[in-house]
């Protein structure tokens, strides 16, 4: 299972575009997506880090390290590479 976090803003059309494209791109891949509005009270740490970069997509395989996949636009080649590399790791039993 893959865990995605999308750092976003409620009024950001690029953020909504990335979320919509991510749903389509993932298809049958088992995943969760958490959308974090960096402007909400309590998210000041994310606002400080991602203010000018949203949308920012982070991903981690279950139990694996979290990494930044892309920002501004969904990077489909990077997403496919991440999914393929993760699948190979799972198939070889190292996770």
pLDDT in tens, 73-94: 999 999 999 999 887 555 545 4
Alpha-carbon span 62 to 42, nearest angstrom: 26
Q: What is the mean pLDDT of the chain?
A: 90
pLDDT at 95: 46
Structural domain for 48, as ranges: 2-91
Instruction: Supply the CATH number for residue 12's domain.
Output: 3.40.30.10
In the sheet where 31-37 sits, what is the strand order? Answer: 31-37, 2-8, 56-61, 67-71
Per DSSP, helices labelled H in the chain are 13-26, 44-50, 76-91
Alpha-carbon span 53 to 25, nearest angstrom: 21
Domain total of the chain? 1
Alpha-carbon span 95 to 2, nearest angstrom: 13
In this predicted structure, the answer to whether residue 46 has a pLDDT above a threshold of 90 is yes
């Amino acid at each position: 299972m893959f865990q995605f976090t999308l750092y976003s803003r409620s009024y950001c059309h690029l953020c909504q575009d990335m979320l919509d494209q991510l749903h389509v791109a993932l298809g049958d891949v088992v995943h969760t997506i958490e959308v974090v509005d960096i402007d909400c009270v309590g998210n000041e740490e994310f606002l400080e880090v991602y203010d000018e970069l949203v949308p920012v997509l982070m991903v981690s395989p279950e139990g694996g390290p979290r990494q930044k996949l892309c920002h501004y636009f969904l990077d489909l080649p990077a997403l496919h590479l991440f999914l393929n590399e993760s699948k190979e790791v799972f198939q070889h039993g190292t996770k």
